[in-house]
Amino acid sequence: MRKGRVSDAVIRRLPRYFRHLTDLELAGVVRISSSALGQSMGLTASQIRQDLSCFGEFGQQGYGYNVENLRREIADILGMRQGHTAVLLGAGNLGRALMENFHFERSGFTLQAAFDVCPEVVGVKMAGLTVRHANTLEEYLQEHPCDVGVLTVPRSAAQSMADRLIASGVKGIWNFTNIELQHGAGGVRVENVHFADSLLTLSYLISEGV
pLDDT at 100: 96
pLDDT band for position 58 (50/70/90)? confident
CATH superfamily of 84-197: NAD(P)-binding Rossmann-like Domain (3.40.50.720)
pLDDT band for position 195 (50/70/90)? confident
Phi, psi of 151, deg, nearest 5: -100, 110
Hey, where are the domains in the chain? Answer: 8-76, 84-197
> What is the Cα Rg of the chain in Å?
20
Contact criterion met (CB below 8 Å) for 132 and 106 = no
Please name the CATH architecture into which domain 8-76 falls.
Orthogonal Bundle (1.10)
pLDDT tens digits along 127-168: 999 999 999 999 999 999 999 999 999 999 999 999 999 999
Neighbour order of strands in the sheet with 132-133: 132-133, 109-116, 84-89, 148-151, 172-175, 189-192
pLDDT at 6: 86
